[in-house]
Amino acid sequence: MRLISWNVNGIRAVHKKGFLDWFESEQPDVLCVQETKAHEVQLPKALKQVEGYSSWFTTPERKGYSGVGLYTRDGIAPRSVTFGLGVERFDSEGRTIVADFDDFVFLGIYFPNGKRSADRLRYKMEFYDAFLDYVDNLRQQGRNVVVCGDVNTAHKEIDLARPKENRKISGFLPEERAWMDTFFEHGYVDTFRQFNQEPENYTWWNVMTRARDRNVGWRIDYFFTDTDFASNLTNAFILADVMGSDHCPVGIEIA
């Protein structure tokens, strides 16, 4: 299976930039898109009914904000698809899709951004904790998990171009990085780093400063699996040449 995650920063906007052409060319088995900024009823038919795929979309309370979508290839349909972590103040923002496949539970998540205010940083950290409780509970039930999405935090200095200048910026704060340490200590792995330990591999670039032209970026989009399921990984990758958003797609291949 080939699974891809992409923060599209507005699915209707990226649709106008060749999203469906890219989708048809890439042909992933599973595609999760974040920051769709649209309710399903606002989407053109072409985005909801991609030939050969089933699709699901979250419905945030606030239109034009947040949102996650999931496409699965026909013949690889999940047993069930649900929305949210079971915590209303997080689920109202439409940040989570959970798909139950036979071999694993898939979570596609648009994690909160903490840059706006101290309140939003606190919200982000509490969302992190609720997410960790959720996946730990799945593991306690004997389920394997695959998680993808825009996590909005770069874990280590290798994961952003200018770590020293960003130590006091949300996305690279000590408490955010410490939470990621805790997450991995609970038995999860950063799939990309299972295959690539090289610097200058980023997934987000500031559009205003044309940072992508200079590859001054951050790696904040991830695929995670639990340590047991990691043995099924055959590849993990970043599609840095794919345009249309301030993020690029990331993906994994599993046996």
**Which letter does DSSP use for residue 119 in this model?**
H
Tell me which residue of 121, 108, 129, 119 sits closest to 31, measured CA to CA. Answer: 108
150 carries an active-site annotation: yes
Residue of 150, 159, 226, 246 with catalytic role: 150
- Beta-carbon contacts of residue 75 (< 8 Å; ≥ 6 apart): none
Which residue, chain included where needed, has tokens 């590849």? Answer: 235
CA distances from 19 to 1, 56, 72, 109, 244 (A): 21, 17, 16, 20, 8
Question: Facing residues of 188 across strands?
Answer: 226
- Sequence letter at residue 129: D
For 89-114, the DSSP string reads HHHTT--EEEEE-SS-EEEEEEPPP-
Q: Encoding tokens for residue 77?
A: 């349909």
Classify the C-alpha dihedral 61-63-64-69 as positive or negative: positive
Catalytic residues: 150
